[in-house]
């Protein structure tokens, strides 16, 4: 298995893609993540960029001498007019993942409340609330957990407001086991798959 495949497996990339296929970025967002994000890619991905277009790849720089990580100077030079990715089917893992973001815990994934990220956070919170309401825990405790999730939705809605002006966004951390169950729940809803470009590999 090559390095990219190993990374994808470790971060549950396929599961994340199976969630993202139900979401599409609003046009009004104007590819904010590609224009303003801090995007770090692997050396192998940088080499792919260099093969595709050496001139455009000049805007991708090594983080430090001998670092395996490279940084895309925003706005990404591979972004096409009308805010489409010019290397969609060869895009770096980090791009295929966003608004999910890798953390260092090894057992969870971050999710940022950009316009699409917030919709996923809200759906996840509603699913968690539904789950807790079905458990046999005392009603008082149930109400407390549900209120906590309602507050979570509210706090990420606040984070979303004016998100394009913020340098960093507070992100929710979702444990991988809950992510897997949430993905199963989403597929059980039989929703239309609106993001045809996701890479389910």
For position 197 contacting ligand SF4 by CB under 6 A, the verdict is no
3-state secondary structure of 181: helix
Tell which one of 4, 7, 14, 29 touches ligand SF4 (CB under 6 A). 29
Residue 32 as a binder of ligand SF4 (CB under 6 A): the answer is yes
Selected from 31, 121, 125, 186, the binder of ligand SF4 by CB under 6 A is 31
Q: Is 57 in the site for ligand SF4 (CB under 6 A)?
A: no
Positions 82 through 141 that interact with ligand SF4 (CB under 6 A)? 85, 87, 91-92, 95, 98-99, 114-117
User: What is the contact mask toward ligand SF4 in residues 139 to 158, using x (rule: CB under 6 A)?
Assistant: --------------------
| Other Cβ atoms within 10 Å of 151 Cβ, number | 11
Q: Which is nearer to ligand SF4, 93 or 129 (CB)?
A: 93
- The smaller minimum CB distance to ligand SF4, of residues 79 and 174, is found at 79
Q: Is 20 in the site for ligand SF4 (CB under 6 A)?
A: no
Shortest Å distance, C-beta 194 to ligand SF4: 13
Three-state secondary-structure class, residue 119: helix
How far is the C-alpha of 56 from the C-alpha of 72, rounded, in Å? 10
What are the structure tokens assigned to 15, written together?
Answer: 């599961």
Beta bridge partners of 71: 40, 61
Closest CA to 36 of 83, 103, 68: 83
Tokens read off for 173:
């951390």
Measured CA to CA, the distance from residue 188 to residue 62 in angstroms comes to 43
Smallest distance, ligand SF4 to C-beta of residue 131, A = 26
Residues in contact with ligand SF4, counted by CB under 6 A, come to a total of 22
For the chain, the maximum distance between any two Cα atoms, rounded to a whole number of angstroms, is 63
**Using the rule CB under 6 A, is 13 a contact of ligand SF4?**
no
Whole-number Å distance between alpha carbons of 60 and 76: 8
Calpha distance 51→46 (Å, rounded): 9
Q: Can you give the binding site for ligand SF4, defined by CB under 6 A?
A: 25, 29, 31-34, 39, 72, 76, 78-79, 85, 87, 91-92, 95, 98-99, 114-117
């Amino acid at each position: 298995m090559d390095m990219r495949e190993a990374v994808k497996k470790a971060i549950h990339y396929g599961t994340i893609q199976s969630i993202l296929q139900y979401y599409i970025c609003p046009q009004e967002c104007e590819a904010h993540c590609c224009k303003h994000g801090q995007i770090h890619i692997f050396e192998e991905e940088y080499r792919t960029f260099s093969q595709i277009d050496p001139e455009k790849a000049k805007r991708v720089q090594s983080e430090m001498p001998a670092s395996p990580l490279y940084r895309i100077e925003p706005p990404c030079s591979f972004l096409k007019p009308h805010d489409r990715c010019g290397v969609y089917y060869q895009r770096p893992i980090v791009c295929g993942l966003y608004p999910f973001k890798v953390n260092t815990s090894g057992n969870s994934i971050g999710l940022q409340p950009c316009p699409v990220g917030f919709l996923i956070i809200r759906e996840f919170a509603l699913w968690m609330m539904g789950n807790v309401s079905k458990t046999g825990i005392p009603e008082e405790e149930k109400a407390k957990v549900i209120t906590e999730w309602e507050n979570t939705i509210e706090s990420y809605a606040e984070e979303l407001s004016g998100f394009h002006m913020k340098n960093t966004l507070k992100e929710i951390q979702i444990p991988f086991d809950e992510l897997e169950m949430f993905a199963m729940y989403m597929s059980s809803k039989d929703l239309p798959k609106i993001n045809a470009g996701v890479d389910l590999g």
